[in-house]
Structure 1
Amino acid sequence: MVNKILLILLLSVACASASPTPRHSSFKATLMRPASPIRLKDVYRRDMKRWAKFDTNSFSIPAINEDVSYTITVGLGTPVTNVSLIFDTGSSNLWVKSTAYNPLNSRTANYLGETFSIQYGSGNASGKEYTDVASLGCYKFTQEFGVSSNFSGFSSTVQGLVGFGPDDLSTNVTSTGEKVLTPVDNLYSTHQISSNVIGVWFQPITNGGIQETNGEITFGGHDSTKYYGKITYVPITTASPASEYWGIDIAEIAFGTTKVTSTIHGIVDTGTTLILLSSAATSSLYEQIPGAKVDNDTTLYIIPPAEVPKLKDITFNIGHRVFVLTPAQYTVPQNQVANIGGKVGTTYSWISSLGDNESGLAFILGQKFLENFYSVYDTTHKRVGLARAVKATCKKRQGRARF
Structure 2
Amino acid sequence: MSQSTIHRVEFKTNVVHINDVKQRDLARAKHLVAGHQPHGPNAKKHQHQRQQNCDGSSEIPVTDNGVTYLVNCGLGEPATNVSLLVDTGSSNIWVKDTSYQVTSTSTDTRKPFSIGYGSGSCSGTEYTDRLTLSKDLVVENQSIGVADKCDKMDGFDGIFGIGPVALTQNTMAPDASSPNGIATVMDNLKGQGKIQDECIGIGYAPTTDLNAASGTLCFGGADPSQYIGDLSYVPITSTSPASNYWGIDQSIMYGDTEIMVKCAGISDTGTTLILLPQDAFNCYQQQTGATLDPNTGLLTVTKAQYDQMKSMYFCVGDQKYEFIPNAQILCRNQSDSPDAITLAFMSMGDIQHDGLCFINGYAFLQRYYSVYDTANAQVGYAATKYTNATTN
TM-score (norm 1): 0.82
Distance 2:158 2:14 in 1: 19
Matched, 1:27 2:24: no
Deviation at 1:393, TM superposition (A): 12
Paired amino acid for 1:287: Q
SS at match of 2:99: coil
State the partner residue of 1:11: none
State the partner residue of 1:7: none
Deviation at 1:129, TM superposition (A): 1.1
User: Does the aligned pair in 2 maintain the 1:61–1:173 contact within 8 Å?
Assistant: no
Which of 113, 129, 132 is the matching residue for 2:129? 132
Deviation at 1:210, TM superposition (A): 3.4
SS at match of 2:270: coil
Deviation at 1:265, TM superposition (A): 0.7
State the partner residue of 2:43: none
Would you say how many aligned residue pairs link Structure 1 and Structure 2? Answer: 358
Distance 1:26 1:321 in 2: 30
State the partner residue of 2:296: 298
User: Do the aligned partners of residues 81 and 107 (structure 1) sit closer, same or farther apart at CA in structure 2, a change above 3 Å counting?
Assistant: same
State the partner residue of 1:46: 24
State the partner residue of 2:203: 201
Paired amino acid for 2:194: Q
User: Does the aligned pair in 2 maintain the 1:90–1:245 contact within 8 Å?
Assistant: yes
State the partner residue of 1:146: 145
Distance 1:286 1:67 in 2: 23
User: Do the aligned partners of residues 199 and 132 (structure 1) sit closer, same or farther apart at CA in structure 2, a change above 3 Å counting?
Assistant: same
Distance 1:61 1:211 in 2: 40
Distance 1:118 1:61 in 2: 17
- Structure 1: runs of 5 or more not aligned: 1-20, 395-403
Deviation at 1:287, TM superposition (A): 2.2
Equivalent runs, 1:206-225 vs 2, <5 Å: 208-225=208-225
Distance 2:285 2:387 in 1: 31
Deviation at 1:107, TM superposition (A): 1.9
Equivalent runs, 1:54-73 vs 2, <5 Å: 54-56=32-34, 58-59=36-37, 68-73=67-72
Q: Deviations over 1:235-255 (max 9, x none)?
A: 1111111111111000x2111
Distance 1:265 1:226 in 2: 27
Deviation at 1:295, TM superposition (A): 1.4
Deviation at 1:353, TM superposition (A): 0.9
Which of 353, 376, 385 is the matching residue for 2:371? 376
Matched, 1:182 2:184: yes
State the partner residue of 2:311: 313
Deviation at 1:358, TM superposition (A): 4.1
SS at match of 1:29: coil
Paired amino acid for 1:340: Q
Distance 1:52 1:31 in 2: 33
Distance 1:314 1:392 in 2: 12
Paired amino acid for 1:268: S
User: Does the aligned pair in 2 maintain the 1:298–1:342 contact within 8 Å?
Assistant: no
Q: Deviations over 1:172-195 (max 9, x none)?
A: 011226411111110111111111
User: Does the aligned pair in 1 maintain the 2:267–2:359 contact within 8 Å?
Assistant: yes
Deviation at 1:382, TM superposition (A): 0.6
User: Does the aligned pair in 2 maintain the 1:289–1:303 contact within 8 Å?
Assistant: yes
User: Does the aligned pair in 1 maintain the 2:16–2:66 contact within 8 Å?
Assistant: no
Deviation at 1:343, TM superposition (A): 3.6
Paired amino acid for 1:124: S
User: Do the aligned partners of residues 374 and 288 (structure 1) sit closer, same or farther apart at CA in structure 2, a change above 3 Å counting?
Assistant: same
User: Do the aligned partners of residues 53 and 115 (structure 1) sit closer, same or farther apart at CA in structure 2, a change above 3 Å counting?
Assistant: same
Distance 1:75 1:120 in 2: 23
User: Does the aligned pair in 2 maintain the 1:129–1:146 contact within 8 Å?
Assistant: yes
Equivalent runs, 1:113-124 vs 2, <5 Å: 113-124=110-121
Query: What is the RMSD of the two structures over their aligned residues, measured on CA atoms?
Result: 2.7
User: Do the aligned partners of residues 268 and 32 (structure 1) sit closer, same or farther apart at CA in structure 2, a change above 3 Å counting?
Assistant: farther
Paired amino acid for 2:234: V
Distance 1:144 1:118 in 2: 14
Deviation at 1:146, TM superposition (A): 1.1
Deviation at 1:79, TM superposition (A): 2.7
Deviation at 1:127, TM superposition (A): 0.8
Distance 1:61 1:77 in 2: 31
State the partner residue of 1:270: 269
State the partner residue of 1:365: 360
State the partner residue of 1:237: 237
Distance 2:360 2:93 in 1: 23
User: Do the aligned partners of residues 78 and 125 (structure 1) sit closer, same or farther apart at CA in structure 2, a change above 3 Å counting?
Assistant: same
User: Does the aligned pair in 2 maintain the 1:316–1:323 contact within 8 Å?
Assistant: yes
State the partner residue of 1:15: none
User: Do the aligned partners of residues 231 and 67 (structure 1) sit closer, same or farther apart at CA in structure 2, a change above 3 Å counting?
Assistant: closer
Deviation at 1:305, TM superposition (A): 4.3
Distance 1:283 1:392 in 2: 25
User: Do the aligned partners of residues 258 and 60 (structure 1) sit closer, same or farther apart at CA in structure 2, a change above 3 Å counting?
Assistant: same
SS at match of 2:34: coil
Identity among equivalent positions (%) equals 35
Deviation at 1:54, TM superposition (A): 1.2
User: Do the aligned partners of residues 61 and 304 (structure 1) sit closer, same or farther apart at CA in structure 2, a change above 3 Å counting?
Assistant: farther
User: Does the aligned pair in 1 maintain the 2:254–2:284 contact within 8 Å?
Assistant: yes
Distance 1:67 1:154 in 2: 15
| 4+ runs deviating over 3 angstroms | 25-28, 30-33, 57-62, 208-211, 341-344, 391-394
User: Do the aligned partners of residues 136 and 260 (structure 1) sit closer, same or farther apart at CA in structure 2, a change above 3 Å counting?
Assistant: same
